[in-house]
Amino acid sequence: MEKSVEFLSDKRLRFLILVVVCAYFVMASYWLFQGTIWDLQLTINYAKFQELTKVFWWTALFYSSELIGGSMAVIFRWFAGLCALYSAYLFLIKGENALALIKGKVCAALFFEGCYYLALIPSAIIGFVYPFLNENFWYFEPRAPALIVFLINGIACALMVLVIPPFIFVLRLKIVRGQPSREIVRWCCFTAVAYLFVVFWFNYSVAWVASLVPWLERAQPGISILYNPIDFVAFFITVFVLLFIAIFGLISMFPAITKDAGTLNLRHLGVVLVSFGSYFAIILVLFYLSGGYAAHPTVWSELLSPFHNPDVWCLSFIIPGSYLLVKHKN
């Protein structure tokens, strides 16, 4: 077992935690701004959307998906970012003395983050309903193939709703009840592993499966998209390399999950953070090499573009990960 970092006394590491939280908050603020603009469009153009959706229950489901799964979700995440930012700042300044002060804010951040994923429930419902509707039912243009909506809205959203909030709320409960640090670290690791496998690897892999479905109106040719070297690299590192990173993350955190928080190998954790952050850096480069969404309007290009992906802030994990690698290079 490697010697663990003294998190509470390592001011450099506390500062890098603040950097990551700042990235999270900046991205949450960007989506809050975009969500506000979309809310105005939904309000101003209600008559148009009502005419397109035609049936009252479908109009209600569409608006609940957009307002709850879109607008309310980003509001929840913005409040989570605000609470996390305040907590990270106090933690940087006061170190161990800040723990009692930030306990409530950390719990609030976890609550809002959990609500962020619960807000995806209407989107998941649409994903399971839409494939069984006839062609007269509108859902954005060009009309998406039923299989794509089922995969993206249905399967991916449903799994995130079912898996992520329980881990977040149990972790919050452990903190509220003042459980020993070993137990809190254990549930932090549980939650981190759930994010790696469900929010990132599974969700992004499903996006790639959806990108292999022919959608001629969007110039999405089907599986032949993989003949393009850029698309093939993006597919490979998402489906296989990102899975390897998630598995290595599980292996690295498994001792802390099953035994004691002190068994967490911080060099291995640094490898996970750098690899995970680098994945987003590579995807960003590939996105621009492909010409962006305008030149490459596929499902993958839309969902993982820096203007549509709420997870771009994960690039910042490279910074604390590099620090852990340097500090524990021996």
Encode pLDDT of 59-92 as tens digits.
899 899 988 988 899 999 999 999 999 999 999 9
Tens digit of pLDDT for each residue in 105-114? Answer: 999 999 999 9
Q: How many percent of the chain have pLDDT more than 90? A: 60
pLDDT for 23 beyond 60 = yes
Q: What is the pLDDT of residue 118?
A: 96
133: left (phi over 0), alpha (psi -120 to 50) or beta: beta
Residue 134 neighbours by CB distance under 10 Å: 5
**Res. 141 pLDDT band, cuts 50 70 90:** low
pLDDT attached to residue 1: 38
pLDDT at position 5 is 42
pLDDT higher than threshold 80 for residue 3: no
More confident residue, 7 or 48: 48
Are 134 and 192 within 8 A, CB to CB?
no
- Is 90 exceeded by the pLDDT of residue 54? no
Residue 293 pLDDT class (50, 70, 90 cuts): confident
| CB-count exposure of residue 44 (10 Å: 0-12, 13-18, 19+) | exposed
What phi, psi does 83 have (nearest 5°)?
-65, -40
Q: Give strand pairing partners of 215.
A: 220
What is the C-alpha separation between 103 and 110, in angstroms, rounded? Answer: 11
Most confidently modeled of 154-163, 179-188, 303-312? 154-163
Report d(CA 330, CA 326) in Å as an integer. Answer: 9
Q: Does the structure show a pLDDT above 80 at 7?
A: no
pLDDT value, residue 131: 85
Cβ atoms within 10 Å, residue 96:
11
d(CA 78, CA 278): 25
Residue 126, pLDDT above cutoff 80? yes
* Mean pLDDT, residues 185-208: 95
241 DSSP assignment? I
> What one-letter code names the amino acid at 77?
R
Q: Where are the alpha helices (DSSP H) in 259-291?
A: 266-289
Q: Give CA–CA dist 103/172, Å, rounded.
A: 10
pLDDT at position 2: 41
Tell me, letter by letter, the H, E, C secondary structure of 177-238: CCCCHHHHHHHHHHHHHHHHHHHHHHHHHHHHHHHCCCEHHHCECCHHHHHCHHHHHHHHHH
At 24, the amino acid letter reads: Y
Q: Which residue has the higher pLDDT, 302 or 209?
A: 209
Distance of CA 158 to the CA centre of its chain: 14
Contact assessment for residue 109 and residue 85, using Cβ atoms and an 8 Å cutoff:
no
215-246 burial code (b ≥16 CB/10 A, e <16): beebebeeeebbeeeebebbbebbeebbbebb
Query: Range with the lowest mean pLDDT among 10-14, 23-27, 191-195, 239-243?
Result: 10-14
Dihedral over Cα of 183, 189, 191, 194: its sign? negative
Please report the pLDDT score of residue 4 as a whole number.
Answer: 41
pLDDT over threshold 80, residue 136: no
Cα(247)–Cα(259) distance, rounded to whole angstroms?
A: 18
Tokens at 159, concatenated: 């799994």
d(CA 166, CA 174): 12
DSSP state of 55: S
Length of the chain: 330
Q: Which residues pair with residue 220 across a beta bridge?
A: 215
At 52, list the tokens.
Answer: 């397109």
Distances (CA, A) of 10 to 88, 93, 94, 246, 319: 13, 11, 11, 27, 15
CA 246 to chain centre: 14
